[in-house]
Chain A
Amino acid sequence: MILNVTGLSKQFNHITAVQDLSFSVAEGDVYGFLGQNGAGKSTTIRMLLTLIRPSAGHIEIFGKDLATHRNEILAQIGGVIEKPDVYKYLSAYENLEVFARLSGVKLSRQELMGQLERVGLAHRAKDRVKTFSQGMKQRLGLAIALVHDPKLIILDEPTNGLDPQGIADIRNLILHLSRDLKKTVIVSSHLLGEIEQVATRVLIIDKGRKIVEGHATELFDPAQTIVELETFDNDFAFQQLQNSNWSARLQSRRDSAVLIKLDRAQIPQFHRDLINMNIQVLALRPRHSLEDYFLQVTSGKQHVDTYSN
């Protein structure tokens, strides 16, 4: 294991941000760190990066105690914490050079330009960062995180504030880091779709506590999905389905739709049966399976149910 966290807790005055959290990350993992806003993701990541002192617990990275081998460990970690804030009065090149030297590496101009090229900023190398868009700053933040060729990369909400293209770029970069460069990546997000597309293992936390940890494929069955059925008369549809062979798979009846859990392969047959039952279908939408799982295991389910009722 490249990272082992045991019994990690953090208390801010009377507020418990993280409580007795234990998890581990294997080399080569893309480790998805999921939780709602305020769940304790950022606090945990800041503890991993020594920005916050744990109230209790133990962090071991690369087989060494973080508390006693801080500098040695941080030399092999690259991180982007929430917004990629850099020196706005410096150029992209100057920022990269400053952080490379702080990371203990002295790169030639050519090497630094190569790093900027990798994130598509070489043509803006001399421009001050204050003229950059959020997406460009994010890419520069990633270049800074990677400039010293770290073994472990920690990205906290890396897609915050990005447009769809920017989000796709970050996703591709994470996959590139993992597959091509064999880096270990920890990525936190509240955007489930993003995590689902890149993570090999997932940790879900809620209110500072671990809810579940495991391989993404173990946590939710990709073969099954919740289907949202919207019809002209949802009450009628619900009654019909209750009296059909599909009754065991019915999940709930909401104002706008009926929810039913199906194997993906069953969807065409289900559609045919709806027509046979004279149910007038407006829409049949498979919902994101990880999202359902996430809402089910976190307090988010209460929010959704309250809203739905």
Chain B
Amino acid sequence: MAPGGRRRGVTALGFLAPALLVLTVFVGWPMVSALRTSFTDASGFGDAEWVGFDNYVQVFTDPDLLNAVTNTLWYTVLFTPTAVVAALALALVLNSPALPFRGFFRTALFLPFVVSLAVAAYAWTYLIDPQVGLLNHWLSGLGLQLGNVLEDPQLAMPAVALVAVWKNFGFYLVIFLAGLQDIPGSLYEAAKVDGAGVWRRFTNVTLPLLSNTLAFVLVFAMIAALQAFDQIYVMTGGGPYGNTQTIVMEIYESGFRKLELGFASALSYVLLIATLLLSVVQFVFFGRRERDAQ
């Protein structure tokens, strides 16, 4: 390349240097380091011994670690469809031009998204307190006795998943609304003329044209679910009996409490690979969504 090209390269490097330094030191290198640690029995003290794939075998055989993986999957199954279906259904209602106060509803439903999940968890803990919880009281008035939800091995996980649904569905709703607004009204008119009812218009017009947005939001929600931590830390601490212990909770415990760095790193890589796979899917759909928008 001409000298001009080299000069441009130097200029570009000047612009890129600060960000590249941060990303290399605090993202790139730690990734390599975590991979190396995941094959050792590092504990933060003394020399670490190479243990091959032992930690990864542990992740899928040790009852505690496997528990964290299966709990995370269960949480993902509870959270993702609930949040996405609620967001889509409400976006469809909110997209009707005849509906009054649309701006107000949109702002109100989005509001939880700017509230910290950890802080919201306190409010929810109080609402479902078995003695003085308002929500528990109202539900028992309707004949629904929930008891001590956060101590209940069956109900604790749905409860913490519900708090995340509350926080995030408004965000997904806003993305769906943007997608819905890109669908030309003439298509609905044409479908109406052809005698299609509400359900037919939804399945034959809305869903196909919204499929990229839907896939994007689904993957997005799944990635968020894999990282579940904040409200669980506050509400149950992983209990009862480890029933809400997730992958990130376990990374926190084994990496920072028990100092089993090898386990923590192997678990980190399980999380990393799961997220990477989902992200690749997301990127494909994101690219398509961008092209649709143009």
Q: Do A and B come from one complex?
A: no
Which residues of A come within 8 Å of B, CB atoms? Answer: none
Which residues does B use to contact A, with CB under 8 Å?
none
